């Protein structure tokens, strides 16, 4: 799916700004043929939760409504006009002038709809109904329950099966873009590098709609020089002396695609891309043929006021802090991040592990769904099994959106699922197969393992190209005892290496909750001293394991969660506070990471 962009043939209108908003109390049905009786102001893009002083709004479970009006410039009325949501969390029903024009489920991927037939001259009214409810038919997974209050009214309750606040709303940009009626629908690029002679072939497919006489593709380098060109929808453009996209040293080419009718260019799209090679071989993760070492983070889209909403200054700052520390990568835990962030990572040379919102899958995967019907179950097992449908859709939409990004080097198919449970392999095998079938660049795939899943009990290790471990010895297990933690860490990593000498192993989570400003003469848990000692202990072990190819700690910054006795205004495992102020350990990690090269760290 193409990112909306202005070109010689396309205009983008941004519907960001202040919309009208209300939560749906479900007392009076909402009549979409009339303006919403909504009086609150709500900024878009951003989560709605932290934009008011109301506890009721912040903690609302159910439906919310957004509305705004816009006029369509007359000069665009002859064009094909597309309304596009960067995301709508978690399920959306979109109405234009009172007509339902589209519906989408899944809160972290874009969707779009043509609006020409529903536009009117003058003011157009755009209304969006959103649900923030989660259950076993959604990703992430939540436990959903309905009860009644004293007056017999339905009360919706959600217990999130994951450790981050269930921010929702129109969290990413809402845009309208124009194209001609015959247009470029999609571009798929699969550059193949020849590392020995520094050449590459830019393979690709252009998908078009409508009458097309010819398609011309021109490759431009960073100096805007034409380095290759071809015509036709299938391309194989040879480039010599290529500039590779490298971690920390991004080089981006642009593929200018032009669609011709009657000898005239009628549609143009410019796709930015990088040329690089990813491979997993003999226990190494290779980028451009060199063994890469991941240094970085699990993150969240999480900020004061914006919640999970797009904040470009925050994204720019986060990547800057990472680079300053000598970090080179992060995982989009636990959902695909904004398209703007992915583009920024391409530009900044930050390496990304792209994760679907498959978090909270503590199911038992015991049944073959295809043979069963809802009535075969007396409990909620059927609903649980429907997670697979949502999972397939999330993988499909993530890869469709992110397939061309140079920064994306691996797909994460799930975070901390019950890989130990019976049926887990049968559940995950088709999903890994799907990702491998859909990705034109054939990136490696992984799924991160929760600490209760051990080398002996993990049924899904054969599926993963890279073993990704989330481990908390000394924190969740043996809290405060770093000596025992060191032994456990070492024993486990060496055991994984012995059993899978050809698979790279990395940590995709490890950390300790730390209250900024809390110090201890005795290095107690929650103190900044303990956090530093914990990371020093882990680093020592990492350096002893040859197949260990990366450390992504948990978490980049403190973040908001649901309430819980272990959460003090959220999860405090950040090495930065939520305001991005460094905790003490940042100095240690900066010193460590600046001294670890991106390549060839492990012999």
| 573: contact with ligand E9O by CB under 6 A | yes
The closest alpha carbon to 97, from 75, 64, 68, belongs to: 68
* Active-site residue flag, 67: no
How many CB atoms within 10 Å of residue 476?
13
Q: With respect to ligand E9O, which residue has the nearer C-beta, 326 or 574?
A: 574
Quick one: 404 exposed, middle or buried, by C-beta within 10 A (0-12, 13-18, 19+)?
buried
Q: Any residues with CB less than 8 A from the CB of 34 and at least 6 apart, and which?
A: 98
What is the per-residue burial (b if ≥16 Cβ within 10 Å, else e) of 223-262? Answer: eeeebbebeebebebebeebbbbbbeebbbbebbbbbbee
Q: Which of 416, 492, 532, 551 is close enough to bind ligand E9O by CB under 6 A?
A: 416
Q: How far is the CB of 448 from ligand E9O (least distance, A)?
A: 8
| Owner of token pair 């038919």 | 137
Q: Any residues with CB less than 8 A from the CB of 375 and at least 6 apart, and which?
A: none
x-or-dash pattern for ligand E9O, window 434-463, by CB under 6 A? ----------------xx------------
| 558: contact with ligand E9O by CB under 6 A | no
Q: How far is the CB of 573 from ligand E9O (least distance, A)?
A: 5
Quick one: 31 exposed, middle or buried, by C-beta within 10 A (0-12, 13-18, 19+)?
exposed
List binders of ligand E9O among 148-187 (CB under 6 A): 163
What is the per-residue burial (b if ≥16 Cβ within 10 Å, else e) of 149-161? Answer: eeeeeeebebebb
Q: Is 451 left (phi over 0), alpha (psi -120 to 50) or beta?
A: alpha
How many CB atoms within 10 Å of residue 563?
9
Q: Name the one range near ligand E9O by CB under 6 A: 137-145, 399-407, 468-476, 523-531.
A: 468-476
Q: Are strands 351-355 and 329-331 parallel, antiparallel or unpaired?
A: parallel
* Active-site residue flag, 416: yes
Nearest residue to the partner ligand E9O, using Cβ:
163
Q: How far is the CB of 391 from ligand E9O (least distance, A)?
A: 17
Q: How far is the CB of 145 from ligand E9O (least distance, A)?
A: 22
Q: How far is the CB of 332 from ligand E9O (least distance, A)?
A: 12
List binders of ligand E9O among 481-510 (CB under 6 A): 509
| 470: contact with ligand E9O by CB under 6 A | yes
Q: Which of 472, 507, 548, 593 is close enough to bind ligand E9O by CB under 6 A?
A: 472
| 476: contact with ligand E9O by CB under 6 A | yes
The closest alpha carbon to 388, from 420, 363, 355, belongs to: 363
Q: With respect to ligand E9O, which residue has the nearer C-beta, 271 or 558?
A: 558
Total residues at interface with ligand E9O (CB under 6 A): 13
Q: How far is the CB of 417 from ligand E9O (least distance, A)?
A: 11
The closest alpha carbon to 435, from 470, 462, 410, belongs to: 410
x-or-dash pattern for ligand E9O, window 325-354, by CB under 6 A? ---------x--------------------
Q: With respect to ligand E9O, which residue has the nearer C-beta, 304 or 476?
A: 476
Question: Which residues belong to the active site?
Answer: 416, 509
Which residue ranges make up the site for ligand E9O (CB under 6 A)?
163, 334, 416, 450-451, 470, 472, 476-477, 509, 554, 571, 573
């Amino acid at each position: 799916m193409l990112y909306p962009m202005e070109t010689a043939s396309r205009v983008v209108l941004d519907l960001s700004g202040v919309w009208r908003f209300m939560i749906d109390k479900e007392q009076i049905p909402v009549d979409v043929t009339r303006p919403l009786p909504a009086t609150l102001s709500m900024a878009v893009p951003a989560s709605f939760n932290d934009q008011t002083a109301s506890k009721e709004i912040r903690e609302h479970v159910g439906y919310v409504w957004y509305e705004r009006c816009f006029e369509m410039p007359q000069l665009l009325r002859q064009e094909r006009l597309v309304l596009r949501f960067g995301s709508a969390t978690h399920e959306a029903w979109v109405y234009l002038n009172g007509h339902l024009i589209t519906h989408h489920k899944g809160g972290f991927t874009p969707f779009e709809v043509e609006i020409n037939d529903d536009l009117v001259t003058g003011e157009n009214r755009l209304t969006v109904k959103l649900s923030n409810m989660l259950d076993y038919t959604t990703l992430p997974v939540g436990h959903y329950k309905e009860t009644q209050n004293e007056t017999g009214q339905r009360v919706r309750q959600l217990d999130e099966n994951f450790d981050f606040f269930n921010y929702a709303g129109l969290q990413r940009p809402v845009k309208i873009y124009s194209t001609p009626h015959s247009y470029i629908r999609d571009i798929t690029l699969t550059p193949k590098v020849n590392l020995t002679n520094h050449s590459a072939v830019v393979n690709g497919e252009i998908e078009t709609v409508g009458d097309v006489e010819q398609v011309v593709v021109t490759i431009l380098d960073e100096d805007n020089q034409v380095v290759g060109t071809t015509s036709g929808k299938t391309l194989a453009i040879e480039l010599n002396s290529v500039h590779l996209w490298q971690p920390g040293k991004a080089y981006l080419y642009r593929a200018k695609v032009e669609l011709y009718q009657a000898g005239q260019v009628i549609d143009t799209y410019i796709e930015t891309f990088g040329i690089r090679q990813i491979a997993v071989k003999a226990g190494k993760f290779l980028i451009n043929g060199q063994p890469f070492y991941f240094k970085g983070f699990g993150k969240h889209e999480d900020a004061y006021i914006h919640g999970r909403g797009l904040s470009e200054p925050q994204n720019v700052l986060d990547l800057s802090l990472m680079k300053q520390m000598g970090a080179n990568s992060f995982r989009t835990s636990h959902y695909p991040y904004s398209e703007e962030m992915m583009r920024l990572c391409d530009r900044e040379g930050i390496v990304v592990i792209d994760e679907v919102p498959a978090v909270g899958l503590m199911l038992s995967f015991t049944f073959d769904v295809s043979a069963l019907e809802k009535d075969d179950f007396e409990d909620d097992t059927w609903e649980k099994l429907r997670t697979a449908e949502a999972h397939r859709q999330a993988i499909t939409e993530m890869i469709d959106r992110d397939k061309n990004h140079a920064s994306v080097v691996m797909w994460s198919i799930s975070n901390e699922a019950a890989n130990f449970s019976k049926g887990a392999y049968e559940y995950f095998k088709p999903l890994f197969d799907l990702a491998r079938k859909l990705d034109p660049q054939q990136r490696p795939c992984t799924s991160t393992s929760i600490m209760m899943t051990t080398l002996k009990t993990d049924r899904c290790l054969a599926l993963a190209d890279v073993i990704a471990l989330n481990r908390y010895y000394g924190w969740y297990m043996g809290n405060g005892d770093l000596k025992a933690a060191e032994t456990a860490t070492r024993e486990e990593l060496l055991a994984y290496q012995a059993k899978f000498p050809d698979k790279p192993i990395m940590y995709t989570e490890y950390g300790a909750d730390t209250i900024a400003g809390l110090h201890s003469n005795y290095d107690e848990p929650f103190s900044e001293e303990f956090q530093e000692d914990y990371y020093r202990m882990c680093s020592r072990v990492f350096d002893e394991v040859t197949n260990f190819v990366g450390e992504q700690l948990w978490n980049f910054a403190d973040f908001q969660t649901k309430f819980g006795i272990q959460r003090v205004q959220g999860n405090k495992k950040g090495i930065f506070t939520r305001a991005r102020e460094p905790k003490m350990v940042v100095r240690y990690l900066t010193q460590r990471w600046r001294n670890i090269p991106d390549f060839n760290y492990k012999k």
